[in-house]
């Protein structure tokens, strides 16, 4: 007879990797995360150089930028649960190898099609790396106090990677060709592979029953369809378009069938019983809502800084840098805040602080106010990271150790879906508030006003072609309409954040510290000798 029993971990029988080297393990995991976070943003500044060299079409250029996050988000659950089954370190090391090979292929891609394929392979490698880092972190830090500190460092590194990506890309482009933004991954991989193999502990979840291959493919295909449709909506594509509606409906159908399949299986790919825990389901919803309310806002803020205030891309990046620095500070202080205030008050505080920052930014106008922007961005970064830290820590702590990979994949998928939906939703709000202000501009032809209603950048192009008083009037009207739309979008975002604060009331009030019970194998009964008659 064999099975598993839930028992508290004896001091001499700790989780794999929970020894004195766990902080070294954290460093290795943070390097992994830094790699993925860098690659998500480093290409942004290289797009003009890629366009000039490879001459991609409009659709090809869109795929070059979007295929990496699209593939990564689609495969998180597949590789997260596979790591629980075959070994998290094994999946992580394979992800390292694939990431390095794909980076080299992207750097020397001779055509747009080759670059798209290489970026897709990078997405596969990223999907193997991301949930593995969180699930191994969950395993090597069984004590919740230490795990909270580790998650704080982990999240701070994520903020650093996202901020450093464009700066590093800009530096490399000044001295080398566009492929150098991918080659930076290779030295990190050459170090991470042997170090990870030597230092990272291997861990698995409950391996009873077969791995649900069909369920994994259904989840991947369903998420691909939904994320693809959401990205098209965020890019301004009409909701009634066949290329948007068909993937959305097919993806949603596959996800519904995936959930039904998991409920019926004896050994499900993802244990949906985790969602019956209020803390877990609430934490996932908080992650979605935080990203939904804010990621589209960051894109709109970047447009405001460049098109309304007239700042250069470098100046825009420097203005947004305090947001990243505040997020880093919140990540490093998150463990102490969580111990002092508990998950409920911490996440509620993060939502309220972020809402206050958003409302503060409604004072932005057509003129530059550097002090106001500094205060607003600092509060925004600190509040957002406080919210995400508390939500991630609660979600990961509520999940059983055997399901750590699946739980980490669910958290990362929620992050990606929230970001995609946020771009679509807040972008639609922005367009709905911006366009009416340009319907009738005195002295401007109706055709020019209609074209200017698509975006502020297009309005400036139309105004430049018109010239004279008509062009000046259209430019002024477009700028005023954009600021008005920004204010409306900020108010909608603040409402979503306050809704998140109410939702966070379902989280536990107090952080339960100490050793977390882990699933450990029950001892097997010794075989009894056969007795012959």
pLDDT at 519: 35
> Is 28 in contact with 196 (CB distance < 8 Å)?
yes
CB atoms within 10 A of CB 68: 26
Distances (CA, A) of 348 to 150, 200, 329, 345: 22, 35, 18, 5
Phi/psi at 277 (5° precision): -80, 120
* Between 244 and 497, residue with greater pLDDT: 497
Nearest alpha carbon to residue 259 among 247, 245, 274, 279: 274
Determine which of 41-45, 108-112, 386-390, 431-435 has the lowest per-residue pLDDT on average. Answer: 41-45
Which tokens in the block code for residue 277? 């825990």
Which range, 15-24, 75-84, 171-180, has the best average confidence (pLDDT)?
Answer: 75-84
Cα 411 to the center of its chain, rounded Å: 9
| Residue 325 exposed, middle or buried by CB count within 10 Å (0-12, 13-18, 19+) | middle
pLDDT at 298: 67
Q: Is it the case that residue 503 has pLDDT exceeding 80?
A: yes
The domain segmentation of the chain, as residue ranges, is: 20-204, 270-514
526: DSSP letter: P
Phi/psi at 117 (5° precision): -65, -40
Mean pLDDT within 14-20: 44
pLDDT at 352: 93
Asked, colleague to colleague, whether 20-204 and 270-514 share their fold, the answer is: yes
Which tokens in the block code for residue 413? 């998928």
pLDDT at 432: 81
Q: Is it the case that residue 302 has pLDDT exceeding 80?
A: no
* Residues 403, 41, 419: CA angle, nearest 5 degrees: 55
Q: Is it the case that residue 351 has pLDDT exceeding 90?
A: yes
Q: Is it the case that residue 10 has pLDDT exceeding 60?
A: no
Q: How confident is the model at residue 85 (pLDDT cuts 50, 70, 90)?
A: confident
pLDDT at 237: 67
**C-alpha Rg value of the chain to the nearest Å:** 25
Which tokens in the block code for residue 288? 């979605």
> Is 77 in contact with 216 (CB distance < 8 Å)?
yes
Place of tokens 């508030």: 433
Q: Is it the case that residue 297 has pLDDT exceeding 80?
A: no
pLDDT at 9: 38
pLDDT at 348: 93
Bridge partners (DSSP) of residue 6 are 519
Which range, 35-44, 174-183, 273-282, 495-504, has the best average confidence (pLDDT)?
Answer: 495-504
Task: Please tell me the distance from the alpha carbon of residue 470 to that of residue 473, in angstroms, as a whole number.
Answer: 5
- Helical spans, DSSP H, in 306-369: 313-360
Phi/psi at 2 (5° precision): -140, 160
- Interhelix angle 47-54/58-86, nearest 10 degrees: 120
Which tokens in the block code for residue 307? 């098109």
pTM of the model: 0.73
pLDDT at 236: 60
pLDDT at 18: 42
Determine which of 170-179, 297-306, 439-448, 524-533 has the lowest per-residue pLDDT on average. Answer: 524-533
* CA-CA-CA-CA torsion sign (174, 176, 178, 182): negative
Bridge partners (DSSP) of residue 5 are 520
Query: Under CATH, domain 270-514 is a member of which superfamily?
Result: MFS general substrate transporter like domains (1.20.1250.20)
* Between 161 and 184, residue with greater pLDDT: 184
pLDDT at 25: 82
- Interhelix angle 88-107/112-140, nearest 10 degrees: 150
Determine which of 25-29, 46-50, 108-112 has the lowest per-residue pLDDT on average. Answer: 46-50
Q: Is it the case that residue 344 has pLDDT exceeding 70?
A: yes
Q: How confident is the model at residue 228 (pLDDT cuts 50, 70, 90)?
A: confident
What lies within 8 Å, CB to CB, of 166 at 6+ separation is 41, 42, 44, 45, 317
Q: Is it the case that residue 193 has pLDDT exceeding 90?
A: no
Distances (CA, A) of 521 to 5, 51, 130, 515, 524: 6, 55, 27, 18, 9
Determine which of 28-37, 205-214, 376-385 has the lowest per-residue pLDDT on average. Answer: 205-214
pLDDT in tens, 175-187: 777 788 888 778 8
Mean pLDDT within 294-320: 73
Phi/psi at 120 (5° precision): -65, -40
Task: Please tell me the distance from the alpha carbon of residue 313 to that of residue 317, in angstroms, as a whole number.
Answer: 6
Q: How confident is the model at residue 235 (pLDDT cuts 50, 70, 90)?
A: low
Q: Is it the case that residue 204 has pLDDT exceeding 50?
A: yes
Task: Please tell me the distance from the alpha carbon of residue 119 to that of residue 68, in angstroms, as a whole number.
Answer: 5
Q: Is it the case that residue 477 has pLDDT exceeding 90?
A: no
Mean pLDDT within 462-485: 83
| % of the chain residues with pLDDT over 90 | 4
For domain 20-204, the CATH class is mainly alpha
């Amino acid at each position: 007879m064999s099975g598993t029993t839930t028992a508290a971990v004896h001091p001499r029988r700790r989780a794999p990797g929970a020894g004195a080297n766990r902080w070294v393990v954290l460093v290795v995991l943070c390097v992994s995360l830094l790699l993925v976070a860098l690659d998500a943003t480093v290409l942004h500044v290289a797009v003009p150089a890629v366009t000039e060299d490879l001459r991609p079409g409009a659709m090809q250029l869109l795929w070059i930028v979007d295929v990496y996050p699209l593939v990564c988000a689609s495969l998180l659950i597949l590789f997260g649960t596979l790591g629980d089954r075959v070994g998290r370190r094994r999946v992580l090391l394979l992800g390292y190898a694939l990431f390095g090979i794909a980076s080299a292929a992207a750097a020397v891609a001779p055509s747009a099609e080759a670059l798209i394929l290489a970026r897709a392979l990078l997405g596969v490698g990223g999907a193997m790396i991301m949930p593995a880092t969180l699930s191994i972190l969950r395993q090597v830090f069984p004590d919740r106090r230490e795990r909270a500190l580790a998650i704080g460092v982990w999240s701070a590194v994520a903020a650093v990677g996202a901020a450093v990506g464009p700066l590093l890309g800009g530096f490399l482009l000044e001295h080398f060709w566009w492929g150098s933004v991918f080659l930076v991954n290779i030295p990190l991989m050459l170090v991470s592979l042997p170090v990870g193999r030597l230092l990272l502990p291997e861990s698995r979840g409950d391996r009873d029953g077969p791995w649900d291959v069909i369920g994994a493919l259904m989840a991947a295909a369903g998420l691909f369809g939904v994320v693809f449709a959401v990205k098209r909506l965020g890019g301004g594509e009409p909701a009634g378009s066949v290329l948007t509606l068909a993937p959305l409906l097919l993806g949603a159908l596959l996800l519904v069938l995936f959930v039904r399949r998991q409920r019926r299986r004896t050994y499900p790919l993802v244990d949906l019983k985790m969602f019956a825990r209020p803390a877990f389901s609430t934490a996932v919803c908080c992650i979605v809502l935080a990203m939904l309310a804010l990621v589209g806002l960051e894109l709109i803020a970047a447009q405001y800084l460049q098109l309304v205030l007239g700042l250069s891309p470098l100046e825009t990046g420097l203005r947004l840098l305090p947001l990243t620095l505040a997020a880093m500070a919140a990540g490093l202080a998150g463990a102490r805040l969580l111990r002092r205030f508990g998950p409920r008050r911490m996440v509620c505080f993060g939502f309220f602080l972020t809402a206050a920052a958003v409302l503060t930014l409604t004072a932005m106008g057509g003129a530059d106010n550097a002090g106001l922007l500094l205060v607003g961005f600092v509060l925004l970064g600190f509040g957002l990271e406080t919210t995400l830290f508390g939500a991630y820590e609660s979600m990961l702590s509520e999940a059983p150790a055997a399901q750590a990979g699946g739980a980490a994949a669910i958290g990362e998928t929620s992050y990606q879906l929230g970001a995609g939906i946020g771009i679509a939703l807040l972008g639609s709000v922005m367009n709905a508030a911006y366009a009416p202000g340009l319907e009738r501009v005195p002295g401007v032809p109706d055709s020019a006003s209609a074209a200017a209603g698509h975006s502020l950048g297009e309005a400036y192009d139309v105004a430049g072609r018109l010239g004279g008083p008509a062009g000046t009037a259209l430019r002024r009207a477009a700028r005023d309409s954009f600021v008005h739309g920004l204010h409306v979008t900020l108010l909608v975002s603040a409402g979503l954040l306050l809704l998140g604060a109410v939702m966070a009331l379902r989280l536990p009030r107090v952080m339960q510290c100490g050793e977390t019970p882990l699933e450990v194998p029950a001892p097997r009964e010794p075989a009894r000798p056969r007795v012959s008659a």
